[in-house]
Amino acid sequence: MQPDIGGMVDLILKVSQGGVSLVPLIIGLVQFAKKLGLKDRGCIIAAFALGIGFVGTSSAVSQGLIPTSAVPWVNTFFGALAGGVVAMASVGLYDVAQSFKRP
């Protein structure tokens, strides 16, 4: 029996907090860390630590372990991080567009 790869991808992309998908967020943050000079195993450790922290926080929110008064702050934090990832993506898109400019 073949594993349902599409189902696993859907499950991974549904892991979110405050409407922010955590997988693309972690990818963006690790790419940012690479631009700052993080290499090889450091990237793996960073991704692992971010995953544990973000999914742990998301799980704590969904189980009611975080006080309800703090949940909007947690969601705002994840939204702000997502905004940073969008900003980094736009910088990357600009760099790609500049590379296609004619001399």
- Give the integer Cα–Cα distance in Å for 16 and 57: 10
- Which sign, positive or negative, has the C-alpha torsion 19, 75, 86, 88? negative
Tell me the average pLDDT of the chain: 81
- Give the integer Cα–Cα distance in Å for 67 and 60: 10
- Give the integer Cα–Cα distance in Å for 47 and 42: 9
Residue 31 banded pLDDT, cuts 50, 70, 90:
confident
Give the pTM.
Answer: 0.69
Share of the chain above pLDDT 70, in %: 76
Residue 14 pLDDT? 63
Residue 35 pLDDT? 87
Residue 38 banded pLDDT, cuts 50, 70, 90:
very high
